Structure 1
Amino acid sequence: MSEFTLQTPDTAPGAARALLQGAQKQMGFVPNLYANLANAPAALEAYFGLSSQFDKTSFNPVERQVVLLTASVENGCEFCVAAHSMIARKMAKAPDDVVDALRNRTTVPDARLQALSSFTRSMVKERGWVAGAPLEAFLKAGFTHQQALEVVLGVSMKTLSNYANHLTGTLTNKEFSGEAWHRPA
């Protein structure tokens, strides 16, 4: 297996340096996902761009984390499940029972969030070929056609990061280790 270089703000290719510097300043560390994506500055820029756009959707912070965490669990991304579990709990203030249910693929205790998670899971599993009952259940829960497309945006963001993490073998930063998760065998 080829080893990918974990880039730093000092070693990253020029176009990625400022992004890593910004992450370090904002978070106090550089997440390993970013350090690996920096090997392809366009990929790092794309991830940051998708993240910024997803933050502009009509979903509230908890709903956004439901989409991101569900997609990451479905894709078996250990790094992203740990990172988004921490973000969901500490930054978005998602209830612990919601985060735990998403991580464990059990029923989310909030029916609306369960509908969002189920639709997101269907979107990932079916590679976008979601219509009929899954879409109707999503809409019946009070979501809109606009939000169905916003789920696609969130899944796109996580597909980029999940697949990059799989390819590079991204290890979970110690800052996320309290939320470590291992994909089922």
Structure 2
Amino acid sequence: MLSTLEAFKGYVMFAEHTLETAPPASRQAMENTAAAFGKVPDAVARLAESPELLNGFLELSASFERATLDPVAREVVIMTVAVRNDCHICVTMHTGKLRKLGAETGVIAALREQRPLDDERLEAVRQFTLSVLATAGGVDDAALKEFFAHGYTERNALEVVLGIGTYTMSTLANRLTRAA
């Protein structure tokens, strides 16, 4: 059995690292996250077992934050992936982020319930994200034209792929580690 795993009532639990127990290569990322959030979130504490995954995710997430998609559109991508992949911690965290960004409660509820958004431009992002996921990137011309018809660009299409990749990694790792 791996040293970082412990059996608890028949369930495997990934270690929830502290700054003292984390691999040295994860500690700076944990310190930076604690400074930003006021604490080390459970997901970060568990992902710290793999400095490569933790640091890679944080770097990709920072890159996605610099994308030209507006902040709410980026969160639509993230929430679409998080809900699809059933990552409860991600849905909770990004619901909070959408609220901080001033997103309407109807947008948040629709994303959480996998329903179409009333905002056509944001719905175009959601639909394009779902299309990229469903086709493993083999989006047809009609879906691309629909996305572009809402004012999005080729760069934005590639940024959606960046968001999908980043948050697929995060949601899968969070589910695997049982981050709560």
Q: Normalising by structure 1, what TM-score? A: 0.87
Confirm or deny that 1:31 pairs with 2:41.
Answer: yes
* 2:130 aligned partner: 121
Query: What are the ranges of 5 or more consecutive residues in structure 2 without an aligned counterpart?
Result: 1-10
Query: In the alignment, which of 79, 100, 104 is matched to residue 69 of structure 1?
Result: 79
Within 5 Å, which residues of 2 pair with 1:49-68? 49-68=59-78
* 2:166 aligned partner: 157
- Work out the CA distance in 1 between the residues paired with 2:57 and 2:70: 20
* 1:136 aligned partner: 145
Contact map agreement 1:74 1:121 (CA 8 A) in 2:
no
Aligned-pair distance for 1:67?
A: 0.9
Please list the CA deviations of residues 72-127 of structure 1 after superposition, one character each: whole Å capped at 9, or x if unmatched. 1112211111111111112x221211111111111211100000011111212322
* 2:92 aligned partner: 82
- Work out the CA distance in 2 between the residues paired with 1:58 and 1:30: 28
Higher strand share: 2
Secondary structure at the aligned position of 1:12 is classed as: coil
* 1:174 aligned partner: none
Percent sequence identity is 38
Confirm or deny that 1:170 pairs with 2:175.
Answer: no
* Higher deviation after alignment, 49-58 or 117-126: 117-126
Give the CA RMSD over aligned residues.
1.2
- Work out the CA distance in 2 between the residues paired with 1:134 and 1:74: 19
Give the number of equivalent residue pairs. Answer: 170
1:100 maps to a residue whose letter is A
* 1:99 aligned partner: 108
2:106 maps to a residue whose letter is D
Query: In the alignment, which of 15, 19, 29 is matched to residue 29 of structure 2?
Result: 19
Aligned-pair distance for 1:21?
A: 1.2
Aligned-pair distance for 1:144?
A: 0.8
1:144 maps to a residue whose letter is T
Secondary structure at the aligned position of 2:179 is classed as: coil
Please list the CA deviations of residues 26-73 of structure 1 after superposition, one character each: whole Å capped at 9, or x if unmatched. 111212221111000010000110011001110111111111111111
Secondary structure at the aligned position of 2:83 is classed as: helix
Secondary structure at the aligned position of 1:20 is classed as: helix
- Work out the CA distance in 2 between the residues paired with 1:61 and 1:8: 31
Secondary structure at the aligned position of 2:67 is classed as: coil
